[in-house]
Amino acid sequence: MSGENVKHLSDAEFDEYVLKGDLPSLVDFWAPWCGPCKAIGPVIEELAGVYEGKVQITKMNVDDNPTTPGKYGIRAIPTLILFKNGEIVDQVTGAVGKTQLTAMLDKAL
């Protein structure tokens, strides 16, 4: 998996892609130094392929983009937030499994 299905967002792009986007969006708030973030990375990549065209899968590096995580009260990573029509549908923190993420994504469909 080369990750072509996962969009890496900046603070500047967040509103346009996530809050105003046509598709529901899963945002993975992560950092390169975070072990659990790296652990769920391959699952995120896989789900991006499975849900392509149905849910937009994105990642945001909290070190490079502090504004958006601050706005949403991100205190631990990885935190994954599912947005639909600009609203939070669901949120999980920690290295959760594929089954839990799939159930979460299905809520937005």
Annotated active-site positions, please? 34, 37
Least Cα distance to 29 among 54, 66, 3, 84 occurs for 66
Annotate 55-102 with DSSP letters as a single string: SEEEEEETTT--HHHHHTT--SSSEEEEEETTEEEEEEES---HHHHH
